[in-house]
Structure 1
Amino acid sequence: MTVPKPSFILIENLKLYVIKEAVYMKTISKEEYRNKVYGCWLGKNIGGTLGAPFEACREVHDVEYYTHNFSEGVLPNDDLDLQLSWLCAAERFGNSVNAKILAEYWVSTIVPNWAEYGVGKNNLRFGLEPPVSGGFCNAFKDSNGSWIRSELWACLMPGHPELAVRYALQDAMIDHADEGIYAEVFTTALESAAFAVTDYEELIQIGLSYIPADCGIAKAVRLAIECYHDHLTWKEARIRLLTQIPGSFGGQLRLPNPDNLPQGPWGYDAPSNIGLTVLAWYYGEGDFSKSICIAAGCGEDGDCTTATLGSVMGIILGASGIPEKWLKPIGDEIKTCSLNLQSSMLKVPKTVTELTNRTSCLMPSFMTGYFDLYSSGAEIVLNTDKELYDHPIRDWTIKPPFFTDEYPENFQTFIGENAIMKLQVSVTEGIRIHEGETRQLKLHAENISGFVGDPLWLKLKWFLPEGWSIDTGTNTALFLNQYHCGSGNASAVAQITAGPADGAITTVLLEVTAAGRPGRIYIPIQFVCEA
């Protein structure tokens, strides 16, 4: 449904409505929304079951239907499992859920210790928080474990990728960095936008707007599209993609490699597999069955590519638009393989219907201002057109901020925030350190007190271990302007020199206060003192 609305300027708590031009908003009913959420989760189960037999294959296959034993029903898949833990976290903490909360659920409820899952968990248990946990000593930081768990955020914030991607970023940094993060942001953005847009070419461009143009994910996506427009067959496109952007997933089991595809760097798998997902979507040309069969036939991380494509096409088509032949062999059941079912933190849904109902009930708490639970129509307001792309939400600023400005400078970044300010401290040369060595600390502050908020004088106080020093001194100040007619940001640089280690992890503590404000932020900056 599309209805006219007045454009308006929001000044603090005052809405000043000014009719300037015909502005339109798109809405969907609760029933249509639920149909799309149900389609998403059914598509996830369908794709995971179809693609699982081709996981880690480097051969191409002509797939037409399920190849597993139908008596098994739906196959369990970590792609869905992980999101059931996130669902429980979101039900408990609502829209306050963040990386630190999800990290606790990760350690308590996720069983596998393989690849990035295990490295992330090991870092968390060592005492390293996100985003450091996702990248430190993690050869799999660019792999596939994050973008396969993006659907929940899209379903909780339908038609609002600008909201959903912020949770995707918090999610991915637990056990990924760099391409692993960009991959989840990309899939989350296009999946959320799929509640408002059905054209796959536009959805892919929306997803690209939220990630750096020069990252590996973006390059793989553009290459897949280029292959299609060069009129290659999908099998030829697969070879070109996996040759120019090689991954490691399809080569890990030493299975046949008849096309002599190169082996990429170990763990560098998100770019090639996102590329294969887009390739299958383009060559499937909007047909659900054709698209997911191509995705499965491409192999590599076949369950991930096929499940993600099945879910986004399930959003577009809704459950009612998914061909019945894909539903009969697997039914409505959810099977798990990666969850600690004994954990009191989990209440795992047993069916896709239950998962859909719980997702739908949770959505209003993430969509404040876009869904009125008590109105007679109770329709959900979706973004449209340019609003679906990454765009600055503040005008009258020196440098309007985009979502892409929010990526940490590197994964060795420590973050703190309260109601009025957000700070990041990046260790540009890494957190490994020995006595006598120096590291540069880059501090970035953002004023989040409101568009027409208060300029702030920040007082920085460093608490150093005995024998450590910092070139700025332990007490300094930093001016942080508001966004309105300002930048809303401030930066500073300091050099810290290590003294004796006081443990395997040595912590430098930064206390930040704003003059005249009661709140304090404490940011522990952790250095690993290796032998």
Structure 2
Amino acid sequence: MKKQINLVFLFCMLIAMISCKQEVQKAKEVIIPKAVLMDKIKGGWAGQVIGCTYGGPTEFQWNGTMIGDEVPIVWDSTRMAWYYENTPGLYDDIYMDLTFVKVFEEHGLDATATEHALAFANAGYALWHANQAARANILAGIMPPASGYWKNNPHADDIDFQIEADFAGLMAPGMVNSAAKIGNSIGHIMNYGDGVYGGIYVAAMYSLAFIHNDIEFIVEEALKLIPAESEFYQCIADVIKWHKQHPEDWKETWFETQKKWTFDKGCPNGVFRPFNIDAKINAAYIVIGLLYGQGDFGATVDISTRCGYDSDCNPANAAGILGTMLGYSQIPDFWKQGIDKVEDLNFIHTDMSLNTVYEIGFRHASEMIKKNGGHEEGDNLVVKYQTPETVPLEISFEGIYPKERQTVEKQISTQNPEVSLKMEGCAFVIRGRAYKKEDLPAATIDVQLFIDDKLVEEIKLSTQLLVSRHDVAWNYEMKEGTHTITLKALNIEEGYWIDMTDMLIYSTNDPEKQIFY
């Protein structure tokens, strides 16, 4: 009986997909049965959890190198439950999504970027990179889009919005421009330029996956939203080109991508280091998994994971997109094994489980369809299909180039409340943070930043990691030349200190145009 039911559901799915394709071609309207819509939304959310879990043990363990075929990655019915119970922070990219889902649930589909920003900044979970820099900005009164702008956020091109943008596509089936509008609003909370494009691109692939069952088309069509002048576009376009040249060997495309696009220009943690959390290179690994997986769920997850770097978030995006295209019912049982053990468990820092977000996601998608010109017809929803419209061009770190990383290893304390550093260039980022002895209460240290004896900023550095700046100080608006950077603590007390580890220095001179002997 179960087999007969599955065959009937498959037949309905096939008819729906054929109908969708015909409707898109003829009238720009698509009929989606409600049962199919729910199945695809479930596939998108469940796919994220499966991909994130599979890649969890490998995250940033293979930097600048692929995970070889000889390296086993375990998968069985216990994996998801184990992470939920023992390392629930693994699912940060999902509970971050749910922050924005909840804001839409509480404030409606017209919720503002400010409402999303405040919920995100005041949440109880730890953040990193662009997210943490944005949180510190928002708590200091720097609201979006300024909170994600690269001159205020050294991590603007990092992966952050890309890994948490799934919700924007899942609530906009067949409506890529609506997904991009959501992405532009929320993405600028923590990112800018390529960092925002990563989220818009991922959301657009989800949106298209509701309508189309050709993964190559989805990958290429979604890219139309991204400006061709951007490095993000060029990187993904290269991956698509290399896939056509080497259709049978994902490793050839991985090598080409690694050679050309693995550099990092912005992230102070990654520049001149193997670590790379830049949006475009990790998006390339999502696309490599999707293209070479050829619609096979297991192959897609495994390839995206074995590309390395952020190898839990990348397969989570890839598996979520493919899970949306296939639908929950068509994700192989092997990959769904154990998901029944966690679907009623709330994600850490939330009051939402998978089963909860399946229902909320279906409702939000239905509301978005109607909000954007669609309507309901009995057991079906009629979507007003959108063709991609390119979003405006933004470029982070424009006109400046990483020059060198200097070791600093200096400390600001009661004994030494002022530190000066020399540099040659046009911009800098000083890495480090504020600390305290364990028995002392958390405190905020006020620091003045001087450039060439001119006060340019007053900085607040909290010893509480949850709300502190990700980096001590930075400035991207200096003239090329020799400069003295001075940091002076105003209210530091015994038992509190600031460690500065290193300084990333930029120049207006493009190293690719220089000749070295």
TM-score range, shorter chain: 0.5 to 0.7
Residue 502 and residue 240 in structure 1: after superposition, are their counterparts in 2 closer, same or farther (change >3 A)?
closer
User: What secondary structure is seen at the aligned counterpart in 2 of 1:104?
Assistant: helix
Corresponding residue number in structure 2 for 1:327? 336
Q: CA separation of 1:332/1:97 partners in 2, compared to 1, >3 Å: closer, same or farther?
A: farther
Q: Give the unaligned 5+ runs of structure 1.
A: 8-20, 255-261, 342-346, 391-402, 413-499, 506-527
Equivalent position amino acid for 2:226 in 1? I
Moved more, 268-277 or 73-82: 73-82
Counterpart check, 1:164 vs 2:179: yes
Counterpart of 2:447 in structure 1 is none
Q: Residue 331 of structure 1: SS of its match in structure 2?
A: helix
Distance 1:3 1:145 in 2: 33
Cα deviation for residue 268 of structure 1 reads 5.8
* Counterpart for residue 237 of structure 1: 253
Q: Distance in 1 between matches of 2:222 and 2:23?
A: 28
8 Å CA contact retained: 1:223, 1:275 = no
Aligned residue number for residue 351 of structure 2: 348
Match of 1:284 in 2: 293
Mapped partners of 1:6, 1:310: distance in 2: 27
Displacement after TM superposition at 1:363 (Å): 2.5
Contact between 1:34 and 1:356, CA under 8 Å: does it hold in 2?
A: yes
Question: How far is 1:60 from its partner?
Answer: 2.2
Q: Note closer, same or farther for the CA distance 1:299–1:501 as it changes in structure 2 (3 Å cut).
A: closer
CA contact (8 A) 1:79 1:304 kept: yes
Write the letter of the residue equivalent to 1:194. Answer: A
Q: How big is the shift at 1:101?
A: 1.2
- Residues 1:3 and 1:126: Cα distance change in structure 2 (over 3 Å): closer
Distance 2:254 2:323 in 1: 24
Matches within 5 A, 1:166-205: 166-205=181-220
CA offset at residue 25 of structure 1? Answer: 2.5
- Does the Cα contact within 8 Å between 1:168 and 1:185 map onto a contact in 2? yes
**What CA deviation, in whole Å up to 9, does each residue of 1:187-229 have, x standing for no partner?**
1112101111111121122211111112122122122122222
Relative to structure 1, the CA distance from residue 22 to residue 102 in structure 2 (aligned partners, 3 Å threshold; closer, same or farther) is: closer
Q: 1:379 to 1:226 in 2, by over 3 A?
A: same
Counterpart CA distance in 2 for 1:51 and 1:36 is 22
> What is the aligned partner in structure 1 of residue 232 from structure 2?
217
- Taking the aligned partners of 2:274 and 2:139, their CA distance within structure 1 comes to 27
CA pair 322-126 structure 1, distance change in 2 beyond 3 A: same
TM-score with structure 1 setting the length: 0.63
Instruction: Write out per-residue CA displacement over residues 362-393 of structure 1, whole angstroms, 9 at most, x where no aligned residue.
Output: 223322254435x424423251xxx4322xxx
For 1:463-511, what per-residue CA distance to the aligned partner results, in whole angstroms no more than 9, with x for missing partners?
A: xxxxxxxxxxxxxxxxxxxxxxxxxxxxxxxxxxxxx999969xxxxxx
Name the CA shift for 1:281/1:364 in 2 (closer, same or farther; >3 Å).
Answer: closer
Deviation at 1:93, TM superposition (A): 1.4
Alpha-carbon distance in 2 for matches of 1:295, 1:194 = 18
CA distance in 1, matches of 2:23, 2:254: 48
- Is 1:372 the counterpart of 2:375 in the alignment? yes
Deviation track 1:315-344 (CA, whole Å, cap 9, x = no partner) reads 00000110001111343526677x6x4xxx
Instruction: Report if aligned partners of 1:157, 1:366 keep a CA contact under 8 Å in 2.
Output: yes
Kindly state the Cα deviation for residue 281 of structure 1 after the two structures are TM-superposed. 1.3
| Alpha-carbon separation, structure 2, partners of 1:5 and 1:206 | 17
Q: Is the 8 A contact 2:194 2:396 kept in 1?
A: no
Instruction: Give % identity.
Output: 21
1:160 deviates by: 0.5
The reply on whether 1:124 has 2:138 as its aligned counterpart is: yes
Name the CA distance, whole Å, in 2 between partners of 1:22 and 1:294. Answer: 36
Per mean C-alpha deviation after superposition, the further-off stretch among 178-187 and 358-367 is 358-367
Residue 404 of structure 1 is matched in structure 2 by 391
CA distance in 1 between partners of 2:135 and 2:37 (Å): 35
Q: Residues 410 and 93 of structure 1: is their aligned pair in 2 closer, same or farther, counting only changes over 3 Å?
A: farther
- CA distance in 2 between partners of 1:47 and 1:5 (Å): 32
- Residues 1:300 and 1:225: Cα distance change in structure 2 (over 3 Å): same
Following superposition, the deviation at residue 126 of structure 1 comes to 1.3
- Distance in 1 separating the partners of 2:375 and 2:115: 27
Contact 2:158/2:191 (8 A) holds in 1: yes
Q: Give the number of aligned pairs.
A: 375
SS at 1:28 equivalent: strand
Aligned-residue offset at 1:73: 5.3
Aligned with residue 41 of structure 1, among 38, 42, 45: 45
Cα contact 2:97–2:164 (8 A) shared by 1: yes
Structure 2 residue aligned with 1:101: 115
Q: Could you tell me how far 1:361 is from its partner in structure 2?
A: 1.9
Post-superposition offset of 1:32 = 0.4
Change (3 A) 1:501 1:313: same
- Contact 1:40–1:310 (8 Å) recurs in 2: yes
Counterpart in 1 of 2:167?
Answer: 152
Cross-structure match for 2:66 = 60
Give a deviation string over 1:93-146, Cα, whole Å, max 9, x none.
112113111101111115224211211011111111111101234221111110
What is the deviation of 1:163? 0.8
